[in-house]
């Protein structure tokens, strides 16, 4: 099968660009990490946890996905177009894979005329985005329920939408790949990011196996974690990209870029929760119990927000026992992750319609768990 045709903008002389707003955030996080006393200690601990519990696993998964894509030179859009009745299940399966890569592929395939609108609804309903990495790393038991559940709901939703939807949203002259800048070459800090991820994943793997590992080759785990975070902050604050990467860039560059973007949100979620607990004494769990019946609805509404950051925060709240499984279930179905960015850029009407369709099963599933199994997974 021939390789997919990718519209690639020419790379500029610099494969990076200063992003002032991002730089401010990066410098703030660095300042918090090097601060004296308890503030710095808590920040470094949470950065290390975010890196070893989530970021390194994101990097490993994306490297496998993008490496296989490059190695086999596979035209996934063309394969989906020829898949017939299996198109919706395949789209849902791509969406249910951790991260947003599979869902982005389906959104691009829709724009180029290779898949139906039901396939888009299926993949966006099935995807949990980057929050799936956090859940797999910290609550694999919950992930084993949420991911297959989202897959099944996505398939059913996609088939139903293909039956009832009569509106053609797409403009076949658009191309998904044209909206993402091409970096053009693998940079030294891309390699550095992956090199640091190797000891990081060793530490993270040990944590999953309930083994306490405080160093690798004599290097303290905190140094590894914070160093990986700092390199990621540099990549993120100088990136030309919004979230997605161009298919024409190397797998190493794509992994470094996308993992760095995801990690900033993960770190933010970790720090928000820990700061509230340590420095304010606020019992977030008790506070949320006062509005317990509204939590699934709130989580569903948060799922409508483009990007993975807010969804990572919802997963973090579940992992810490603040919100019930019902809220997580509703959010996992309503959220579209980073795949919503290219959908909005290419076809806002299709993006908003797909999000609206996903709200219906999200509400049914969330409140089904809330009323019929209130203590499930908590």
User: How confident is the model over 16-70, as pLDDT tens digits?
Assistant: 667 888 999 999 999 999 999 999 999 999 999 889 877 887 788 778 878 887 8
Tell me whether residue 250 is in a domain. yes
Task: Write down the mean pLDDT value for the chain.
Answer: 81
Q: Kindly state whether residue 299 falls inside one of the protein's structural domains.
A: yes
Is position 11 within any domain? no
Residue 1: inside a domain, yes or no? no
CA dihedral 27, 250, 143, 233 (to 10 degrees): 0
- Report in angstroms the alpha-carbon separations of 101 from 46, 119, 150, 282, 337: 26, 15, 16, 37, 10
Structure tokens given for 367: 């409140």
Q: In the prediction, which pLDDT does 263 show? A: 83
- pLDDT tens sequence across 94-135: 888 876 667 777 877 787 677 888 998 999 999 887 788 778
Whether 149 and 330 have beta carbons less than 8 Å apart is answered as: no
Residue 378 placed within a domain: no
Question: Total domain count for the chain?
Answer: 1
Taking the whole predicted model, whether its pTM rises above 0.85 is answered as no
- The distance of Cα 30 from the centroid of its chain, to the nearest Å, equals 23
* Percent of the chain residues topping a pLDDT of 90: 31
Contact present, 300 and 326 (Cβ < 8 Å): no
Does 80 reside within a domain?
yes
Q: What angle do CA 216, 219, 224 make, to 5 degrees?
A: 85
Q: What pLDDT does residue 322 have? A: 84
Within 8 A by CB and 6+ apart from 5, the residues are none
Q: Which two tokens stand for residue 73?
A: 């030179």
Residue 367 CB-density burial (10 A; 0-12 exposed, 13-18 middle, 19+ buried):
middle
Higher pLDDT, 78 or 235: 235
3-state per-residue secondary structure call for the chain: CCCCCCCCCCCCCCCCCCCHHHHHHHHHHHHHHHCCHHHHHHHHHHHHHHHHHHHHHHHHHHHHHHHHHHHHCCCHHHHHHCCHHHHHHHHHHHHHCCECHHHHHHHHHHHCCCCCHHHHHHHHHHCCECHHHHHHHHCHHHHHHHHHHHHHHHHHHHHHHHHHCCCCCCCCCCCHHHHCCCCCCCCHHHHHHHHHHHHHHHHHHHHHCCCCCCEECCEEHHHHHHHHHHHHHHHHHCCCCCCCCCCCCCHHHHHHHHHHHHHHHHHHHHHHHHHHHHHCCCCHHHHHHCCHHHHHHHHHHHHCCCCCHHHHHHHHHHHCCCCCHHHHHHHHHHCCHHHHHHHHHHCHHHHHHHHHHHHHHHHHHHHHHHHHCCCCCC
Positive or negative: CA dihedral 335, 339, 343, 348: positive
Distance CA 226, CA 205 (A): 17
Answer whether 331's CB lies under 8 Å from 127's CB: no
Residue 75 is predicted with a pLDDT of: 61
Any domain includes 147: yes
Region 181-207: mean pLDDT is 89
Higher-scoring residue by pLDDT: 186, 98: 186
Q: Which of 100, 87, 113 is nearest to 169 (CA)?
A: 113
pLDDT at residue 147, rounded to an integer: 93
Report the pLDDT value the prediction gives residue 346, as an integer from 0 to 100. 63
Domain range for 128 is 20-372
Q: Does 13 reside within a domain?
A: no
Rounded to an integer, what distance in angstroms lies between the CA atom of residue 235 and that of residue 121? 32
What is the per-residue pLDDT across 218-243, written as a single tens digit (0 to 9) for each?
889 999 999 999 999 999 999 877 65
Residues 323-374: tens digit of each pLDDT: 899 999 999 999 887 667 667 766 778 888 888 898 999 999 999 999 998 7
Nearest-angstrom CA–CA distance, 25 and 263: 13
As a whole number of angstroms, the distance between CA 297 and CA 277 comes to 24
Alpha-carbon distance 225 to 294, whole Å?
37
């Amino acid at each position: 099968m021939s390789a997919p045709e990718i519209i690639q903008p020419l790379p500029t002389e610099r494969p990076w660009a200063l992003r002032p707003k991002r730089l401010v955030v990066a410098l703030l996080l660095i300042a918090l990490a090097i601060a004296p006393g308890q503030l710095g200690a808590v920040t470094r601990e949470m950065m290390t946890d975010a890196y070893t519990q989530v970021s390194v696993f994101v990097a490993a998964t994306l490297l496998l996905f993008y490496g296989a894509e490059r190695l086999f030179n596979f035209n996934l859009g063309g394969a989906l177009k020829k898949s017939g009745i299996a198109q919706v299940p395949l789209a849902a399966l791509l969406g249910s894979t951790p991260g947003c890569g599979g869902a982005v592929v389906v959104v691009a395939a829709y724009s180029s005329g290779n898949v139906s609108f039901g396939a888009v609804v299926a993949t966006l309903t099935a995807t949990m985005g980057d929050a799936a990495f956090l859940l797999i790393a910290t609550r694999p038991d919950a992930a084993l329920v949420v991911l297959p559940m989202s897959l099944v709901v996505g398939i059913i939703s996609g088939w139903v939408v293909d039956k009832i939807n009569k509106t053609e949203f797409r403009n076949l002259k658009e191309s998904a790949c044209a909206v993402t800048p091409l970096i053009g070459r693998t940079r030294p800090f891309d390699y550095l990011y992956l090199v640091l991820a190797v000891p990081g994943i060793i530490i993270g793997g040990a944590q999953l196996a309930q083994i306490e590992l405080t160093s690798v080759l004599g290097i303290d785990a905190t140094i590894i974690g914070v160093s990986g975070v700092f390199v990621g902050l540099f990549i993120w604050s100088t990136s030309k990209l919004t979230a997605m990467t161009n298919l024409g860039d190397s797998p190493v560059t794509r992994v470094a870029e996308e993992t760095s973007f995801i990690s900033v949100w993960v770190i933010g979620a970790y720090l928000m929760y820990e700061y509230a607990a340590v420095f304010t004494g606020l019992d977030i769990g008790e506070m949320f119990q006062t509005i317990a019946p509204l939590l699934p609805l709130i989580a569903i509404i948060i799922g409508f927000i483009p990007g993975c950051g807010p969804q990572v925060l919802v997963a973090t709240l579940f992992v810490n026992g603040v919100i019930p499984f019902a809220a997580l279930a509703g959010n996992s179905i309503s959220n579209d992750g980073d795949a919503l960015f290219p959908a909005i850029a290419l076809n806002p009407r299709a993006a908003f319609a797909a999000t609206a369709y996903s709200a219906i099963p999200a509400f049914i599933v969330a409140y089904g768990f809330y009323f019929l199994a209130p203590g499930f997974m908590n």
